[in-house]
Chain A
Amino acid sequence: MYEDFILDKAYFIKVIKDLAEMIEENRDYLTGLDSEIGDGDHGTNLSIGFREVMKNLGQWENENLTVIFKKVGMALLGKVGGASGPLYGSMFMKLGEPAHGKERVNFKEFYEMFKSGIEAVENRGKAVVGDKTMVDALRPGLNAFTEAIESGEKPEKAFGTFLERAKEGSQSTIPLIARKGRAMRLGERAIGHMDPGSASSCMILEVFYRNLLNYKKNY
């Protein structure tokens, strides 16, 4: 079933464009979350990064998926800065690797992309679940995605589970004391606030999901 579910380049280009739009729309919301326990720049920095992506996306569209995601990641790495620059930069750079230079992927490869991207975030940030970071959303989400794939769930359902568990993971950061990042130094005062990186991670997954639901052409 997964081998026949093909996602082509048009899907990914649309996702990247929608990500840029989503970040602009949520810039002040994310910045607001970050003001509560960080330094209030998460939304604006992501917007600086995705503006750079959009400035160049036209020139990248003829490349294969591996190259496109590498360039998106490099742009984020180069422009976003802070902790989210290396984290999202690494994630997007690695996202394209399982596409192995192709212009389309099947759903199994699509799953592998997220596995590769999320592992890159963990390797770069050295955070684990419970540290009050984006890993609290991404890791449980990915684990749920893996289980869904192994038990042969339908693609949309499998990704839906991924997103749902990631959102639960993001919610689960609210009562936590942070063990990474600027919020770490707040101690108990970080309790009661959602980690902004976990929130933006879910928003990013949501864009992939929304486009997946609208993507019926080859299924």
Chain B
Amino acid sequence: MRRLINDPYNIVEEMLEGFCKAHNKHVKLLENDGRVVVSKKAPVKDKVGIIIGGGSGHEPLFLGYVGEGFADAAVIGNINTSPSPEPCYNAVKAVDAGKGCLYMYGNYAGDVMNFDMGAEMAAAEGIRVETVLVTDDVYSSTEIKNRRGVAGDFYVFKVAAAKAALGYDLDAVKSAAEKANANTRSMGVAMSSSTLPITGKTIFELEDGDMEVGMGIHGEPGVRRTKIEPADKVVDEILGYILPDLPFNEGDEVSVLVNGLGATPLMDLHVAYRRVAQVLEEKKIKIYNSFVGNYATSMDMAGMSITLMKLDDELKELLDYPCDAPYCVIK
């Protein structure tokens, strides 16, 4: 294991302590719950509360997107594991400003159970909480409602948070999130497994020099396993799944996110982005803006994913809306 840690049973708490100290202008830990990272601006008057969350090990997802104009709180679970119901509920209590809250997270069975229980607890106190599940990973299922959420989380959270910051009500914020999710597609490739700190072992075996296109960020199997191929070929294959899925057509305008899974250099990500731009240009799909970097990772996993969101005027406005979070500043 090549991880720099202390007692692995304390890793999440130690990360949160460090994160909140490092970014103390933006965020703090909730006093009564060490698994809720809240924006220092929350609760924001007359604004729908934006709450995101999920297992840890995907940093800067989710906690890096807590801040002004972005999420009001992130609920943090153990590694690759949904948070429990109580912090989900405590986050609502902390950020609700009387207009209700929106939960957004990737579509995983554990997260759904825990966040639903949190929402039930809030509902018992008369606080309305709605949920939008992110389902952007095209290879995870043929049925969209069964797909898991990966780097597309970033777009869905960003869009909904901007809608909330503009003062819209919970129904409008939820619709914006649903629209962003409906327009977003992702797929990735893995070249190594992440290491679980407690066991010191990898989640799955991938021989040095092998890769798996379509693999999930928790090691869920993909299309096929093969020797590592040139970046352009991998990008072409991934886009071959993403583009027809929505579909993205000639004349569409998109935002592009080339996301690193933790151990892939920015250099490689830009090589991949170059090819994405070439392909989209060939297909006459216009790139409105782009993000290249580590947005949704899997600890020390090597690999990358490509996400496209098809834009309209509303989504462009919401994507461009200013935000100031530790891992996303838009001016």
Q: Are B80 and A86 in contact (CB under 8 A)?
A: no
Q: Does residue A211 face the partner (Cβ distance < 8 Å to B)?
A: no
Q: Are A40 and B83 in contact (CB under 8 A)?
A: no
Q: Are B220 and A86 in contact (CB under 8 A)?
A: no
A125-153 contacts to B (CB < 8 Å) = 125
Residues on B with C-beta less than 8 A from A180 are 109
Residues on A with C-beta less than 8 A from B196 are 31, 40-41, 44
Residues on B with C-beta less than 8 A from A28 are 199, 201
Q: Are A182 and B220 in contact (CB under 8 A)?
A: yes
A28-B199, A48-B9 known; A79 vs B84 contact (CB < 8 Å): yes
Q: Are B220 and A81 in contact (CB under 8 A)?
A: no
Residues on A with C-beta less than 8 A from B216 are 185
Smallest CB gap from B114: residue in A: A86
- Chain A proximity of B41: nearest CB distance (Å): 27
- Chain B proximity of A74: nearest CB distance (Å): 9
Q: Does residue A101 face the partner (Cβ distance < 8 Å to B)?
A: no
State the CA gap A47–B83 with chains docked (Å).
16
State the CA gap A84–B55 with chains docked (Å).
13
Q: Mark B215-230, 1 if CB is under 8 A from A, else 0.
A: 0101111000000000
Q: Does residue B86 face the partner (Cβ distance < 8 Å to A)?
A: yes
Q: Count A interface residues, CB 8 Å.
A: 35
State the CA gap A180–B81 with chains docked (Å).
16
- Chain B proximity of A6: nearest CB distance (Å): 35
Q: Are A186 and B220 in contact (CB under 8 A)?
A: yes
State the CA gap A40–B79 with chains docked (Å).
10
Counting chain B CB atoms within 10 Å of each CB, the highest count among A78, A82, A189 belongs to A82
Stretch at the interface among B140-148, B247-255, B289-297: B140-148
Helix, strand, loop or mixed for chain A's interface? helix
- Chain A proximity of B149: nearest CB distance (Å): 12
Q: Are B82 and A81 in contact (CB under 8 A)?
A: yes
State the CA gap A48–B113 with chains docked (Å).
19
Q: Mark A40-71, 1 if CB is under 8 A from B, else 0.
A: 11011101100100000000000000000000
Q: Count B interface residues, CB 8 Å.
A: 34
State the CA gap A98–B82 with chains docked (Å).
30
A92-140 contacts to B (CB < 8 Å) = 124-125
Q: Are B81 and A186 in contact (CB under 8 A)?
A: no
Q: Does residue B108 face the partner (Cβ distance < 8 Å to A)?
A: yes
A173-192 contacts to B (CB < 8 Å) = 180-182, 184-186, 189
Q: Does residue B22 face the partner (Cβ distance < 8 Å to A)?
A: no
Smallest CB gap from A187: residue in B: B141
Q: Mark A12-36, 1 if CB is under 8 A from B, else 0.
A: 0000000000000001100100010
State the CA gap A43–B84 with chains docked (Å).
17
State the CA gap A79–B9 with chains docked (Å).
12
- Chain B proximity of A26: nearest CB distance (Å): 12
Q: Are B203 and A40 in contact (CB under 8 A)?
A: yes
Residues on B with C-beta less than 8 A from A185 are 140-141, 146-148, 216, 220
Q: Are B146 and A82 in contact (CB under 8 A)?
A: no
State the CA gap A87–B85 with chains docked (Å).
12
Counting chain A CB atoms within 10 Å of each CB, the highest count among B109, B196, B201, B218 belongs to B109
Q: Does residue A163 face the partner (Cβ distance < 8 Å to B)?
A: no
State the CA gap A27–B80 with chains docked (Å).
16
Q: Mark A152-181, 1 if CB is under 8 A from B, else 0.
A: 000000000000000000000000000011
Q: Are A45 and B81 in contact (CB under 8 A)?
A: yes
Q: Does residue A91 face the partner (Cβ distance < 8 Å to B)?
A: no
A45-B78, A86-B117, A186-B220 known; A181 vs B204 contact (CB < 8 Å): no
Partner of A81, one of B83, B148, B203, B218: B83
A86-B117, A185-B148 known; A81 vs B221 contact (CB < 8 Å): no
State the CA gap A38–B196 with chains docked (Å).
13
Partner of B80, one of A39, A43, A48: A39
Partner of B199, one of A44, A87, A184, A189: A44
Q: Does residue A204 face the partner (Cβ distance < 8 Å to B)?
A: no
Q: Does residue A199 face the partner (Cβ distance < 8 Å to B)?
A: no
Interface residues of A (CB under 8 A from B): 27-28, 31, 35, 38-41, 43-45, 47-48, 51, 77-87, 89, 124-125, 180-182, 184-186, 189
| Selected A-B contacts with CB under 8 Å, 30 pairs | A31-B196, A31-B199, A38-B218, A40-B80, A40-B196, A40-B203, A43-B199, A44-B78, A44-B79, A45-B81, A48-B9, A78-B84, A80-B84, A81-B77, A82-B55, A82-B78, A82-B82, A83-B109, A85-B82, A85-B84, A86-B84, A86-B117, A87-B113, A124-B113, A125-B113, A180-B109, A185-B141, A185-B146, A185-B147, A186-B220
The 4 A-B pairs of least Cβ separation, nearest first, read: A39-B218, A82-B110, A83-B110, A40-B203
